[in-house]
């Protein structure tokens, strides 16, 4: 997967060829196909790598036993910090998205990523429930609030890839936290 990421970073997603990935990783093309039967499987593996790294990064960055509002602030900051720390990976993922991975009928587009997204969203929904129970948050649908926060961050990553927003701006985590929490805090 790292070989695919290096190839796409240097040549772009539309020029991704399995032989180039094999060369970049120092393995034979046949060996590569043993692990990834198709280019789409390789791309899906790269997305799954991204979401697993993201989950690990945000979990490590967020201290335990925080008030729910502080938990969300740290989650937003950790999410933006991850994008800065994994800038090449984030940019390549946008390249992969433009490749238009075909859907098999009835199957999710990126199965492992869907599971990862669901885990993050469910954890955020738990934080929302806890904040409501503690009287910090207004009663809102915790699942919709969590999905909205994650969609906000996803959209920002996409806008950053297009050059519309600078994720390096130091005040961005605080501004995003204020905007999101303004909608849920009592």
Both tokens of residue 90? Answer: 């984030």
β-bridge mates for residue 137, sequence order: 185
CA–CA distance, 54 with 72 (Å, rounded to integer): 15
What local confidence, expressed as pLDDT, does residue 107 receive? 65
Confidence of residue 102 (pLDDT cuts 50, 70, 90): low
CA–CA distance, 117 with 88 (Å, rounded to integer): 20
CATH number of this structure's domain 50-184? 1.10.357.10
Given a cut of 70, is residue 105 above it in pLDDT?
no
Q: Read off the pLDDT of residues 66-79 as tens digits, 9 standing for 90 and up.
A: 999 999 999 999 99
What local confidence, expressed as pLDDT, does residue 6 receive? 80
What average pLDDT does this structure show over 35-54? 83
What average pLDDT does this structure show over 94-99? 69
The predicted model scores a pTM of: 0.84
CA–CA distance, 30 with 33 (Å, rounded to integer): 5
Q: Read off the pLDDT of residues 137-176 as tens digits, 9 standing for 90 and up.
A: 999 999 999 999 999 998 888 888 788 988 889 999 999 9
- Torsion angle of the four alpha carbons 5, 11, 12, 18, in this order, in degrees rounded to the nearest 10: -60
What local confidence, expressed as pLDDT, does residue 140 receive? 93
**Do 124 and 61 meet the contact criterion of CB atoms below 8 Å apart?**
no
Confidence of residue 101 (pLDDT cuts 50, 70, 90): low
What local confidence, expressed as pLDDT, does residue 168 receive? 87
Q: Determine how many CB atoms are found less than 10 A away from the CB of residue 172.
A: 17
Confidence of residue 108 (pLDDT cuts 50, 70, 90): low
**Do 52 and 116 meet the contact criterion of CB atoms below 8 Å apart?**
yes
Q: Read off the pLDDT of residues 48-58 as tens digits, 9 standing for 90 and up.
A: 888 888 889 99
β-bridge mates for residue 185, sequence order: 137
Average model confidence (pLDDT) for the chain?
Answer: 86
Domain spans of the chain?
50-184
What local confidence, expressed as pLDDT, does residue 1 receive? 75
What local confidence, expressed as pLDDT, does residue 109 receive? 62
């Amino acid at each position: 997967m790292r070989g695919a990421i290096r190839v796409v970073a240097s040549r772009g997603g539309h020029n991704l060829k399995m032989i180039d990935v094999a060369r970049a990783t120092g393995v034979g093309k046949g060996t590569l196909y043993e692990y990834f039967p198709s280019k789409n499987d390789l791309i899906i593996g790269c997305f799954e790598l991204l979401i697993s790294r993201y989950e690990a990064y945000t979990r490590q960055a967020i201290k335990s036993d925080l008030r729910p509002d502080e938990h969300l602030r740290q989650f937003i900051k950790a999410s933006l910090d991850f994008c800065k720390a994994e800038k090449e990976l984030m940019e390549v993922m946008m390249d992969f998205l433009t490749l238009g991975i075909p859907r098999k009928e009835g199957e999710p587009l990126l199965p492992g990523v869907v599971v990862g997204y669901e885990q993050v969203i469910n954890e955020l929904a738990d934080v929302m429930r806890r904040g409501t129970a503690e009287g910090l948050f207004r009663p809102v649908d915790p699942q919709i609030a969590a999905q909205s926060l994650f969609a906000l961050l996803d959209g920002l990553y996409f806008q950053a890839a297009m050059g519309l927003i600078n994720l390096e701006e130091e005040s961005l985590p605080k501004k995003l936290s204020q905007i999101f929490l303004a909608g849920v805090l009592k």
